[in-house]
Structure 1
């Protein structure tokens, strides 16, 4: 039947579901490991803050705690995203991961506000920084802990296609670099410039704002269904290479969580039977599942070739959605 064009090929659907479960499991493992590592790093830094009174280290520690806490909504989102679709949520729950990205952005913004406030307060009301050796050690601990987490998060995020996890990885990497800034603040105090500590705290705040900007770009692009142009071109080229496909049109691709959904029109010989046209569409879907990484679902609409306008009845709807070229263009 023609409506089978819009249903997943049974074998491919099972593969996609299993692959989605596998990638979600990798994401859950990544947030568990990074949460534990960052909490240990932040707790060690808190102990040094209490001993030294360093506002630069306090700002860095606050950021590390917020970074650790961003693992929690990601964890929840990965779990929710594994739930099967229902009649109310017919596309499933994978978008939960993209919504978790909003929480990550909010936490980064909050950490910038707190770090900036504490730094300014220490400029207005200076406090002596003590135990500089411990302060330097804490900065090094912060760098090593965050860099290890950053490498792990980014690697897993790229492997499974999770923008939220990659953004959180870059967040951790910046935390590591700001931990090194704490070391420079301690050296400034040691050399007789006590204001170096809160000034470094302000520099950390600026660094957090740059992370916030990059995270917002990445997260909101996913929420707006943005993909790399190369992905769209890949879908077009693979579909066009299938025997029986005369042309492709209206190719759409979007991320939903860390998986891709795609839809497109293909033009086939008008003399083909419904069954033969369906077979071409299934071959397109099959090749796309195998050729496009992280692809979960493909919807293929079959158009017969020829001069006859096959979409006249619905053309005004399709034009409004950008699915067909306008006749008056």
Structure 2
């Protein structure tokens, strides 16, 4: 609950910051006719909108598990990631279309100084949002929020491209503005690929190998454990679920359960985002029909 609240607070703050930046840039677009700035404004607006589905996902993820959704609704965060991919791709298409149209039907660029200033404002707004999202995302274990922060930081550099376009027009190259608009659109598509991979990996229960190594090391170093036969982890939203199979020489069921409890505590200390860990103990002394003692997570 605390992690979700922190995530929602970060999304609220970043949403209003990006909307303020977008409004300022849109005002400059209306008086300048810059398609490069228009592309950046549309992109910043779409980036602001990505906070909405993530916000909804964090709220849904706080709901308790039910008979229909026995693992809760943490996966809503991954579905929000798909929506983000669609919105960002749409912004790239709109920006490219506007840039191509301006190359076919050129128009003079006015108030170039304001265009350059708006580009700098766009960079500053995105960088503030990026730092905040990444910091909160890492603290609560939300890969989606961290990815959105990295995305905002990248958007800041596309805003700097608007400044380059404005300087190009001042230098006597009028096509610099639509060409920069096209470059921004291409950059959006290229950078979107990383988001697609991240979201797709989550939907397929992919996990960072270093997290698996950390869990393996934590439970493997538990006193009484002589081997780790299996380690499994998966993200459900911004929280982790896992299962391990441990080999032990425990002389009794009570000893095996105690070792399992210690292993679970070590795992949760190592992985702060770990909500649930199923611990399966294999011992040559105490066996069930299946050949192991299985302790359910508390």
If the length of structure 1 is used for normalisation, what is the TM-score? 0.85
Q: Is the 8 A contact 1:97 1:257 kept in 2?
A: yes
Q: 2:116 aligns with which of 115, 124, 136?
A: 136
Alignment pair present for 1:153 and 2:164: no
Alpha-carbon distance in 2 for matches of 1:268, 1:98 = 37
Highest RCO, 1 vs 2 (Cα 8 Å, sep ≥ 6) = 1
Give 1:303's aligned residue.
282
Q: Is the 8 A contact 1:244 1:268 kept in 2?
A: yes
Give 1:322's aligned residue.
none
For the aligned residue pairs, the C-alpha RMSD in angstroms reads 1.8
Give 2:77's aligned residue.
97
Partner SS state of residue 64, structure 2 = coil
Alignment pair present for 1:291 and 2:270: yes
Alignment pair present for 1:216 and 2:217: no
Give 1:261's aligned residue.
241
1:111 CA drift (Å) = 0.9
**Aligned structure 1 segments of 4 or more residues deviating by more than 2 angstroms:** 272-276, 308-312
Alpha-carbon distance in 2 for matches of 1:196, 1:212 = 24
Give 2:207's aligned residue.
227
1:122 CA drift (Å) = 0.8
Give 1:177's aligned residue.
157
Q: 2:96 aligns with which of 116, 129, 149?
A: 116
Query: Structure 1: which 5+ runs fail to align?
Result: 1-20, 313-329
Give 1:237's aligned residue.
217
Give 1:278's aligned residue.
257
Q: 1:33 aligns with which of 2, 13, 30?
A: 13
1:253 CA drift (Å) = 0.9
Alpha-carbon distance in 1 for matches of 2:222, 2:159 = 53
- Number of residue-to-residue matches in the alignment: 291
1:195 CA drift (Å) = 0.6
1:214 CA drift (Å) = 1.2
If the length of structure 2 is used for normalisation, what is the TM-score? 0.93
Partner SS state of residue 246, structure 1 = strand
Alpha-carbon distance in 1 for matches of 2:39, 2:77 = 28
